[in-house]
Amino acid sequence: MKVTVVGAGISGLATAFAVQQGARQLGLDVTLEVFEKNDRPGGKIRSEKVDGYLCEWGPNGFLDSKPMTLDLCYEADMAAQLLRSSDAARKRFIYDGDCLQRVPESALDFFRSPLVSWPGKLRLAAELGVPRRKDGTDETLADFVRRRLGREALDQLVGPMASGIFAGDPETMSLRSCFPRIYELEQQYGGLIRALLLLARQKRLERRAGKAVAGAGGPGGILTSFAGGIQQLTDGLARHLNGSLRLGDAIVSILPSKEGFTLRTKGGRIYETEVLVSAVPAMVLASQVESFAAGMAEQLRQIPYAPLHVACFGYRREAVPGGMDGFGYLAARGSGLHSLGTLWSSSIFPGRSPEGHVLLRTMFGGATRPESANLSDGEVQQRVQEDLRRTMNIGQQPDFVKIIRHKAAIPQYVSGHGARLRVLEDSVQAYPGMVLVGNAFYGVGLNDCVAAAQRAAKRVLALLQKRS
């Protein structure tokens, strides 16, 4: 039996690896092929070392609080190479238009913090009296936060978080698709503060009984990567799949066939497969299937992507006033910055810059600033330098600059995303042997992609067992 994976980003590689391992354990005779249009695997995961600076093109790690990616590292014999972020990386900041304010980590810290005014804090405390929404509508993140926590919480806390994780616009983001845990807390407990209080009490009781319970404060965890960058993860998976990789071979069309699917490459070659796993961006899959599944293609094209530039700046340590004791900062809504925020990469992991130098990594663009995609590298550099002058008082020219451009960086789960997924899932049911995976559907984070890949691999293995 033949399984073909199209796309060798983290989703495709993790799915293929899990299928390979599972087939061996089950004693299934499987021919596995992974097609990738680029001449390297990894997709947007890329760690490039230039002049001693390690520049991450995409994500710079994963949180260890969820087991799926850690488990994958162990299964692929990469656990010994893991690198945990520094203690300083726990400290995160928001630029509020005047200065950097540390993000509070406890209720006491929150009430002491000047990040939110006292009227804003009182409005947040009034969340206890806000009724649960019961109409089942797919509320936007911004509408939810304004309703439950107030406008200031949106501008100063949640908006920056949304841009940092999704490069997204909270005015259009689906709460249920982007932050399902928050939606569940309101439905289950009636409110967020009530959930925090009840879960904290339940956690104490469970801990006494030697058990654990999910918290309300999000995933948490320690950011984890590798000494050579997060690309070591995808490179390690690619080594396990070396004989199956077809690099520089783009699939341009897919057609159902009697035995499964017929694939045609850009060069005109034809391949047949029984099981097809698509791990490409939504708009790419739409172009591949539109000849036989116009409805599916239409749903796929309704998943927008935000542009994003990554600006890596290197400086001599003495050129950066003050300390860089933290993860970095995000921009509050209305702060007046051009950029979404800046990570202090050389403070997060060791070895990210030459001795005596520091590396800053600024995110520029996103769903709230789509026009930035049209700026030249020089214009991006100029605006980032303006921001760094305001936020960190850096007046000198950088010694190192690298601008990384992503025209379609991160899929946006806008309101109605869940309904689109249900239509897509129904459409795929009409084509047995087709499985969809990737960050366009069930989560944009690295952990989300690995978890979805594991679910996809289980479906593939179940298909293979049934057919064998």
- pLDDT at residue 110, as a whole number: 86
- pLDDT at residue 206, as a whole number: 61
Q: Cα-atom radius of gyration of the chain, to the nearest Å?
A: 23
- Write the burial class of residue 171 (CB in 10 Å: 0-12 exposed, 13-18 middle, 19+ buried): middle
- pLDDT at residue 89, as a whole number: 87
Q: How far apart are CA 361 and CA 229, in angstroms?
A: 14
Helix (H, G, I), strand (E, B) or coil at 464: helix
Report which of 275, 282, 279 is spatially closest to residue 256, judged by C-alpha positions.
275
CA distances, 311 to each of 106, 164, 179, 384, 388 (Å): 32, 15, 28, 8, 12
Report which of 15, 92, 45, 138 is spatially closest to residue 404, judged by C-alpha positions.
45
- pLDDT at residue 467, as a whole number: 85
Report which of 179, 182, 171 is spatially closest to residue 367, judged by C-alpha positions.
171
Q: How far apart are CA 314 and CA 125, in angstroms?
A: 42
- pLDDT at residue 137, as a whole number: 86
- pLDDT at residue 218, as a whole number: 43
Cβ–Cβ < 8 Å for 81, 226: yes
Report which of 93, 92, 98 is spatially closest to residue 334, judged by C-alpha positions.
98
Q: What is the CATH number of domain 116-208?
A: 1.10.3110.10
- pLDDT at residue 213, as a whole number: 42
304-411 has which fold?
Polyamine Oxidase; Chain A, domain 2 (3.90.660)
Segments in the chain below pLDDT 50: 211-219
Residue ranges covered by each domain of the chain: 2-45+231-303+414-467, 116-208, 304-411
Q: How far apart are CA 160 and CA 418, in angstroms?
A: 23
Kindly give the pairing relationship between strand 31-36 and strand 400-411: unpaired
- Summarised one tens digit per residue, pLDDT across range 336-391 is 999 999 999 999 999 999 999 999 999 999 999 999 888 999 999 999 999 999 99
Per DSSP, the residues of 398-423 read PSEEEEEEEEEEEE--BTTHHHHHHH
- pLDDT at residue 217, as a whole number: 40
- pLDDT at residue 207, as a whole number: 60
Domain 2-45+231-303+414-467: which CATH class? alpha beta
Phi, psi of 228 (to 5 degrees): -90, 10
Report which of 42, 41, 45, 23 is spatially closest to residue 32, judged by C-alpha positions.
23
- Summarised one tens digit per residue, pLDDT across range 381-426 is 999 999 999 999 999 999 999 999 999 999 999 999 999 999 999 9
